[in-house]
Structure 1
């Protein structure tokens, strides 16, 4: 029997005092590899204490599925740092940001503060950077009245769906990301880099391999090229890991895209733009093909109050549905990785894609 104390909370007991099983592992959604659900046997279980005790089990689930939904625990945003530490260390500060967020303290932020009626397309957090978090943790305090779920897609399976010719050019050239921080348009460079010191920004860019150009009037233009694929440091699997479709203006709402192109006729002046690493334009057909691969693998996680969603940032892409009503979801990031640690071997990419494709086809054919 589950007796509650106070306004919807029960005292937590240390895991050592509970010799019986603390959680039960469920299944993944039909036809999907993620997320796998881990449910508390009752809401007195401290999720962070359980994660610290069963770190190996939790890490194995993340490696296999890419995302783990912790359900039935009573959590707050303040639980996220304790949950992340055994898996990825202390929460990371959000630098070189591309979306607005509100800092809640302790390395915890609100999830992207975009208007509720906007879709946030599937993406891997900070995949445009030379260093990025390996693990994300989302916590839902208030689910939306309608919508507001978090789509997920297995990036191994996304890669396997892409045509070899498309993958080959991306692998050969990489992806070039161009950003222009116009005063009063989108995020300022001060917000993106967390400082109002131009010299500090210039130093940060130099360390990260980012070309930074200051234009008259205080406008900052940056350019960086990153690989399109990554190799998971523990599983050795190759994944589609870039912002080509996410940052390209073709993915914007048509009215917004038209307004931006009218204001900034030169593509390099757009707030965000993407090309192949050699500077060549990415064909619209390739972008549509990539978005179709994401869509084919996407499944939506509907939130419940107290849910925590752990996401391996290499293995799984995430997004956001539009919603109505209040929605309060927090996020923290940990486990800093750099491109050297996840560099994919071009010679074995095709073999890995074929194995994943065959596994997926076998799963779809199973009764």
Structure 2
């Protein structure tokens, strides 16, 4: 039976305006959609799937007008804060430019990743490929940018091209992940709250894996081709200072043992447990399960899989027991769904409370083209604990 907006207890998405679209909810297969557990309210679906009603006149302009109208009262932002992820299907979005216009209609501020670890060439305003790693590489569930202090609050994904087999995007709730982990491995949660994590990210002159970024892509936005090494360093360090975290973010210059080129090792003490603005519910904002799965995969296949450029341990420098990481990975897989893409689909994530990933696919690399657009919210996650490192902040403008 199709789920109605009313049964989900969410605001009506019908507007009395011929230039706008009426959105209605619809059901997806159980592999692609589930009802979330605590602390989510009853009947909370992940993702909440929306499509134009049959009597709507569907144009891109009408879709953009509708989004802007709904966002005057932050209707969609409120839905994201409850469900974590929204799916929009059946809209005439056919290009990076269309996708950019649709995403910007939500009214969020475009996000700049300082210290980006993947290569995202710009295709349209605030639009880039989601990830260009080889199709065989599985990207496990994570919140976006958990290895750096300044992360986006909202993530938009658009399927410009969908593969025939595979290539799904996993979706899971970080709120539910915390609740399950607190119940099943409470001692691990206690340690994370007490210590946070230490994230050591290595940036090299050359990219470290296919789809990865270079040192200049991560911090070199002010670097000019004629700059000498000292000038480049100064400009890179100025970008690091924009994190605004003082003693909780430190760096060390060094030399790559493989090719003798310079490298930068950046160390952050970061909170894994954060709180959702507006509710203060604790959420696990992390890539630890992905970090663990990547490590296991590399050990099985002699280095194959996605490279961990960030080394993770407890905030005091002590290692995280494998049993905790394995349990976190297990829970993550138990609560996730796999979004099966159709061309034109747009997934919108509240990055504070929802995780994503990427499944391998059959066929050619170009059979799956998913674009991404990242945005900041009005506030950042709150602290859960009392350490000075426990509160992340918006990066300074630069």
Common topology (TM > 0.5): yes
Tell me if structure 1 keeps the 8 A contact 2:100–2:124. no
Q: Is the counterpart of residue 332 in structure 1 residue 373 in structure 2?
A: yes
- Can you list the C-alpha shifts for 1:138-190, whole angstroms capped at 9, x where unaligned? 11111112111110001111111112111010111001111222444343211
Match of 2:80 in 1: 62
Following superposition, the deviation at residue 16 of structure 1 comes to 7.4
- Can you list the C-alpha shifts for 1:206-238, whole angstroms capped at 9, x where unaligned? 332331111144111111111011111133221
Using the alignment, how far apart are the partners of 2:98 and 2:21 within structure 1? 21
The structure-2 alpha-carbon separation of the partners of 1:149 and 1:201, relative to structure 1 and needing over 3 Å to count, comes to same
Residue 39 (structure 1) aligned to one of 44, 51, 59: 51
Residue 72 (structure 1) aligned to one of 82, 86, 90: 90
Residue 123 (structure 1) aligned to one of 136, 139, 142: 142
Please, what TM-score do these two structures have when normalized by structure 1? 0.80
Q: Is the counterpart of residue 198 in structure 1 residue 251 in structure 2?
A: no
Match of 1:95 in 2: 114
Following superposition, the deviation at residue 18 of structure 1 comes to 1.4
* Structure 2: segments with no counterpart, 5+ residues: 1-14, 37-44, 224-231, 256-260, 387-398
Q: CA RMSD in A?
A: 2.5
Following superposition, the deviation at residue 102 of structure 1 comes to 2.5
Using the alignment, how far apart are the partners of 2:251 and 2:68 within structure 1? 41
Match of 1:52 in 2: 68
Tell me if structure 1 keeps the 8 A contact 2:164–2:362. yes
Aligned partner of residue 254 in structure 1, secondary structure: helix
Residue 214 (structure 2) aligned to one of 183, 188, 192: 188
Match of 2:345 in 1: 307
The structure-2 alpha-carbon separation of the partners of 1:201 and 1:88, relative to structure 1 and needing over 3 Å to count, comes to farther
Tell me if structure 2 keeps the 8 A contact 1:175–1:242. no
How many residues were matched structurally?
322
Please, what TM-score do these two structures have when normalized by structure 2? 0.74
- Higher helix fraction: Structure 1 or Structure 2? 1
* Structure 1: segments with no counterpart, 5+ residues: 1-14, 261-269, 348-367
Using the alignment, how far apart are the partners of 2:295 and 2:325 within structure 1? 8
